[in-house]
Amino acid sequence: MSLPCPHCQRPLTPGDRFCTACGSSLLLEVAPGSTEPTCAVHPRMKGLGVCSRCGAFACANCLHANPQGLAICASCHAREPDVLLPWDRREELGTFKAFYKTCVEVLLRPGPTFSESRTEGTVGSSLLFSLMCGFLAFFTTGIVYAVFFGAMSMALPSDTGKGPSPSEFRWIMVAMMGAWIILAPVMAVVTTVVNAAIDHLVLRMCGVTRGFQVTLRANALSQAPYALGVVPVCGAQVAPVWTMVARVFAYRGQHRTTWGVAALGALLAPMATLCLCGSAYVAMLVFIMNNKA
């Protein structure tokens, strides 16, 4: 639905103060007693267009264009900045560029990235993002191991008569690495769905109203630090911590909720798991010590 100029009827861009075709001002006052629709915020101004989000009339000063070029009113614009992430512009940018650009935004400015960006995304697009993060994280680790085992197989005595020969050993390693590189990202996607489901339960109990897709999307996008897996060794240590921090930002921004709720949603389940594993470990130690005595 395009917005026509009240003078020349040619289509306007929401946000313009003047018509670019006929040059007339779009800020029009209504005559007293007129039944013309007026701006919901400025009752003396003519309602130039209707907000595509809430349906309220808005004057030229109050109209904004959302990323799709549709007219939205000032209060909807303020409440729900609807910036498209590079990831949401995959068709235009190409999947790899969109992925890379989204990772950079999540890593460098998680606050505005999550609180200003659109919150809807298909399950498929979220899972694809976590698959790519998983692939990047595990791919390099796999290569490092493959090189390591490859070198080891060279060092094996060439003919011992028992066990696999060096070339067999090499092929087994290659097959294992291949399986690792393919299976690990799949596991990462399954983990994403399970983690998002648990986090979503916590968020719902804290009063969050948006759907599971939002949590899934936030969870997937917050895995961007795993793209650091391309920097072997360093990435493996930094990424999990950075991901947790990014996830708090992601839940806060995408669910438009408070820091407290977002932190609970992002950290409660991992912390509980950590405590459970920790206490199981301590219990095991105590058990071993007691049996030794």
Instruction: Report the interface residues with Zn ion, using CB under 5 A.
Output: 5, 7-8, 19, 21-22, 39, 41-42, 51, 53-54, 56, 59, 61-62, 73, 76
Q: How far is the CB of 74 from Zn ion (least distance, A)?
A: 7
Q: How far is the CB of 51 from Zn ion (least distance, A)?
A: 3
Q: How far is the CB of 19 from Zn ion (least distance, A)?
A: 3
Run of H or E residues at 72: strand 71-72
Looking at the Cβ atoms of 76 and 208, the one nearer to Zn ion is: 76
Looking at the Cβ atoms of 6 and 150, the one nearer to Zn ion is: 6
User: Cα separation of 67 and 84, whole Å?
Assistant: 7
User: Cα separation of 292 and 286, whole Å?
Assistant: 10
Q: Give, in degrees to the nearest 5, the angle at Cα 248 between 226 and 217.
A: 65
Q: Is 59 helix (H, G, I), strand (E, B) or coil?
A: coil
User: Cα separation of 103 and 197, whole Å?
Assistant: 23
How many other β-carbons are positioned within 10 Å of the β-carbon of residue 33?
A: 5
Tokens of 131: 């698959």
* Helical residues (DSSP H) of 123-258, grouped into ranges: 123-155, 166-205, 212-221, 234-254
User: Cα separation of 56 and 72, whole Å?
Assistant: 9
Looking at the Cβ atoms of 41 and 238, the one nearer to Zn ion is: 41
Looking at the Cβ atoms of 70 and 245, the one nearer to Zn ion is: 70
Looking at the Cβ atoms of 40 and 239, the one nearer to Zn ion is: 40
Q: How far is the CB of 28 from Zn ion (least distance, A)?
A: 11
Q: How far is the CB of 54 from Zn ion (least distance, A)?
A: 3
